[in-house]
Amino acid sequence: MKKIFLVLLAIATLNQLLAAQGERVANRVFYTELGGPGVIMSANFDTRFDSNERLGFGYRLGAGFGYKEEYGRYNNQWGYYDYVTRTYFSIPAGVNYVFGKPDSNKTFEVGAGLTFLTRKAALYYYNEGKTGYMIGHFTFMYRVMPVDGGFSFRVGLTPMIGTSGNLMPSGAIGFGYVF
């Protein structure tokens, strides 16, 4: 009788583990974003710290790029400066908090973080002397994320703080997939 009880207990436990795996919450998002902390465009991964929650604290990590125009040499023949465009890569990283109802696909995100650059750059052209390898950013995003996974959309404000301390208003729009 004791062996039958242990076998039934093992089967029930295994059944619960398999059922729990099937009910995993769709809280991970892979998305591309135009504008925002990636500067021009970025590909990002966003998830919650608690793997069983769609809302609450989480993080984002991405890879993007930007460009910077620099003065080149003075062309004596035509009497103007040549401009050189230099591309740089960006790595936006940040923490965020997602608000909303647990059963709704419409949520709101508030976050902050840093964007690391592979080349010194300034947010404003008149601040060229104050360049750096990091930009601070905030995110205020409206997100449409299906509860069971699928296509997602996000749009919002992403103000950035340059190396000179200036605040640059910015926005972003993103499309992705929730899984």
Domain chopping of the chain, boundaries: 26-178
Q: Which helix (H) or strand (E) holds 154?
A: strand 150-157
| Paired tokens of 108 | 């709101």
Residue 170 has pLDDT above 50, yes or no: yes
- Cβ proximity of 40 and 65 under 8 Å: yes
What are the tens digits of pLDDT across the range 54-77?
999 999 999 998 877 666 665 656
Residue with tokens 């995110």: 139
List CB contacts of 41: < 8 A, sequence separation 6 or more: 32, 33, 34, 35, 64, 65
What are the tens digits of pLDDT across the range 149-167?
899 999 999 999 877 677 8
Residue 5 has pLDDT above 50, yes or no: no
* CA dist., res. 99 & res. 110, Å (int): 8
- Cβ proximity of 29 and 152 under 8 Å: yes
- Choose between 168 and 164: higher pLDDT: 168
- The radius of gyration computed from the CA coordinates of the chain, to the nearest angstrom, equals 23
pTM listed for this prediction: 0.76
If we measure between CA atoms, which residue out of 117, 97, 92 comes closest to residue 37?
92
* CA dist., res. 61 & res. 80, Å (int): 41
* CA dist., res. 112 & res. 56, Å (int): 14
CATH no. of 26-178: 2.40.160.20
Assign residue 56 a region: left if phi > 0, alpha if psi is -120 to 50, beta otherwise?
A: left
Q: Which helix (H) or strand (E) holds 72?
A: strand 56-75
